[in-house]
Each structure stands twice: as structure tokens, then as C-alpha cells.
Structure 1
């Protein structure tokens, strides 16, 4: 569910507004239910790449996120899963195919707003230097966190691919959060924060544009670009990360989630007090053997089976096998009741975003 949210917001940054319901349908292969098939498949590709990052990280096999091989692999995995319609782009008035995992070829010069990225012939040198620098900068726990915003901007500055650079940079940042130990096993991602900003959705592109500025004198860093604007971008980016971590903690706070869930069940099944009891028990304990339902509620075995049947058919409990232990589920139709503000602008009790540090 949170991967769908991350893909939704990453798409939104690109100007592609895709309904979460359509993303889930595309993931399940139900493309006949989808309103805009190419955009839904694009978001589904994002979900699958993030799932690969999260699963690889959980096994302890996550490659170095700023390595050239990993960055190319992200692009390749993303575009291998893209629909045919989105594997081409307009360049200099010509329709050009986007080659998965391949850098811009000779003659494929681009501009992004006011920014003119390095020429295609210089990309290998730039990207090799990028990987070398961030291999050193991410060697310690503090560096692994502080490097996330800078690497995010610098990869976009290089703009190594003909298309898909923004999505690759957000997936790379997600992988860097996992490598730094602050990824929450994939339960949060930077994409939601970048799409919404702290006060205004335009903040992300404004800060990215500012960090493209050239150095302002001898005291503004040692490279061609301004260190002060990169520092400002880093402070903003880290504050957005903190805001999203706090938001996710509030959404998954067990007491508050249990209250929202049991209230929903009580509204849907008035007069059936045992059903909220069962959901609360499974939510708190992670899973429940089917035979334990009667002990949780004090009902007869027959009544307990009936209670479980209602919750399973309603999509509130699920299991891996027909007779296996039950786990809690989060039905799509009630997502906003269970997790307000995940996609929309409902009003959950979430801490206000912290102010960016004064820089």
C-alpha cells in the first residue's frame, strides 16, 4: 500500500496524476479496469522496482546505491516494465526510443528548464566521478544520511539518461535511505514529501533549480556549482525526510490505528461487538490461529466461525492458506478511513512539519 502511495506521488511530480485504484489494478493485471492504462503501468513499474529495492535490502544484498551499476540497473528495471507508449520520447523533433539502462548517446543533448546538463560525451566521466565521490562520502553513518540530498541533486544535474532521471533519482534516494538504516523497511519514501513540500508543492523544483546555480565567489565551495545553495537544498530535503518519517509514525501508531480500524468495523457491522474485538486482537498480535477466535470473544465455536467468515469476506482479515493463521488486511475501499491523508488532504492527527534549519 505504501509503495502504491510512493509511486503515485513520484508520478505526480512528473505531472502524471494516476488514481491509486488504477495502480493496484495494473499490479494485479486487471488492465480492463484502468482509466489510463499507460500511466497506471508506469506507476506499477515504479512499485515493482521499489519492491525489489526493499526486498534486496531486507536480505542484506543491496548494492551500493550511488554506484554506476546500480543506477543503470534502476533505469533498466524501470523501463523494462514500462508500456510501449512510454518507451519513446520526443527529442529534437524526432521520436527516439529510450534504451533501458543506457546513458544518453552522442548527439542526445537536453535541457531541463534553465539547466543545461553535461553533454552526452562527458556523461561517463561525470557519472564515474559521482560514484567515486559518494562511495567515500557514504562510508560512515552520518555521511550515509547527509549524502542523500546532495546525491539526489547531483544525479539530476548530470541527467545521464534521455528520460526517467527524476524517477531514478527518487528510487536511488529510497535505496540510500535503506542503506542508511532509516528506510523503515519501505514503509515511507521521500516521493510523498517531495511532491507535497513542507508548505507548497512547488518547493521541490524551486530548490532543485537553486542548487543548479554556479559558485558565487571563492568562499562558495571548490567546484563549479554553489555550495551554499546545495547546503540550503540539503537542509530542506532532510527536513522533508524528517516530516515524512513523523507522518508515517503517526499513521502507523498502533493505538490510533486500532481506534480507527475498530470504529470502521463498528460502523460497518452495527451491533456486532465481537468483530471489532477480533480485528483489534489480530492487529495487536500480528496474527491469530482461527481456533483462537472463540477464546478472544468468548463466543461459541460456531459463532466464532461466522464472525471470522464475515471479516474475511469483507477483506479485513486474510491468510496465506485456507486454514492458515489470520492477519489483518487493509481493504482498498476503506483506505482513507484507515489512513487519512495518505493520498488526499484529510486531517489526521499528525505533527506539524518542522521548519527547515536556518542556513
Structure 2
């Protein structure tokens, strides 16, 4: 079955399905849906956790063996499979066989970017809908972003004036992950006090976060020498690259969409405004990148982003900064 993010908590209270698919391009909302499923699974006794990343290095026979393995001492397990490009590829046969008869001691969680129409017509997806739950995560529309901020603030017990809310919405430009981080920080700083424009002005100007945004801009603009210097500084300061990576991956996917609509004759400026890109500088960088980079280059850039993500989470021998430097060189090339 397919359900909406808002309906997931109630659905989990009724009982666990053997398999869940969470797909979408909003990392914060995808993460929060996954966390709800993980907590419900832990509460039901599924404490063991195995994680796989469906990249070119994954041996799907290993995953199939885990599907078929009997848990020691009847231990219940959670198996998570990350699909960075929204496709199962060689893994579809293993998943199809498992979905024919899911076991009671496994909760399978598939975490994916947005699925394309072709993937939803495959046998594995139809089997998943029959046996489990698909939660598609949709972006928050630009015109609804301020309302989303207000709802989020209220849920965290924050009291914002309308001016403060408008200022936050303008600064955050629809970035939900950055918005969540700012709400957490405001909660710590204000301790229940009403938040006005002056408070936001002082709290939001976090240089390290804006350095991360600036690095993403430099990478997309192809300015490898300057990007390399920034990577060195952020590495020395002990910054976590995952926040910047979220912004960069979002914009790379946006550039791919822009190239598609531009080939159909649609105006880039209208498309970007519809997707919540209002700042002229960011819009200009995205448009220029769409003209400079071809589709294979953009897909390769997203593959490198996956390597950065894995390295930042402790997979592999190389640091995420190594892959970031590779990405800066890659994005500086012209098609």
C-alpha cells in the first residue's frame, strides 16, 4: 500500500509491515520517516540492524544470504538498504524472491531518492505494495514553506513573531534540513522567549553553515581552486560535510530537472521560482551549471556524492574530504 508521511505514525501503531519503502528528495523528511519506523521496530523487538548501500560495489548475493539466514537465538533484525539513485538494478531478483514470502523475524527498510515511473512498473515494486508500505516524500512547495516553518516551530514550543518567521523563510530558501537545525538552535538560545527579527538576525548568522552553503555554490560554479581552499579550511575546523552535501545533492538533482524542462522549451527562471529558488545569485549559478555540465557529468557527480556520504558515515578507507576534492575537479570540467 501507499501512504502519506502524515499517516505513517498512526499506521505504525496498528502494527508493523514486513517491508517499507521511503522515497523522496527531502533528506530531512525521509530521515524522520525512517526514524519512526526504526523506533517502532525497536519497540517490537527488532534490535539487530544490518545496513547495505546499493552502489556498484554491493554484492547482492550477500543481501540474499541475509534474507535467508536464520537469526541466532530468534533475534529479530532490521535490514536497511539505501538506494542512492532510486534503482535496484541487479538487486531486483533478490528482493522479488524475498517478497514472495517475507519472514517474521526481519523488517526490511528501503531508503531511496524519488522513484521514476519506470521503476514503479517493475515486479519488485508491485510485490512491495502488496506486502508492505511505500511512503513517498514530496518536497514542501515554496509557497507553503513559511507555513511548514510555523508548524515546525509550534511543535518545538517556539514562539516566533510574523517578522521573524518571514526572515527565517527568506534566509533558509526552502532548505528543510537547515530549517530543522535553526529551530533546534533557536530552542537552545531563546529558552521559551518570544523570537523576533533581532533574535533571528543574531542566531542565524552562523558562519560555518554559510561556509558550507558557499562551498556548494563554488563547487557548482566550477571554481575548483577556491573550492579546494574552502575544503581545506572546513576540514581543519572539523566540520561535518553532510549538511553541505544535502544542499549540493539537492541542487544537482535540480539541475538535472532544469536541463529536462529547458529541452522542452520551458523558461529556466520560471521553473526555478516554482521550485523555490528566489535568490538571484543561486539561480544564476544553477542556470550556468545546467548549461556547462552534461547529463552524464551530473549523474557522475551524484555518484561521487554517494561516496562522500558513505565516507562521512565511516564506510571505506578514504575521508569524505578526499572525495570532495575529486568532486571539485569533476564539476570544474566542461562538456
More helix as a share of residues: 2
Radius of gyration: which is bigger?
A: 1
Same fold, judged at TM 0.5 (above): no
TM-score (normalised: structure 2): 0.28
Greater relative CO (CA pairs within 8 A, separation 6+) = 2
Q: TM-score, normalised by structure 1?
A: 0.27
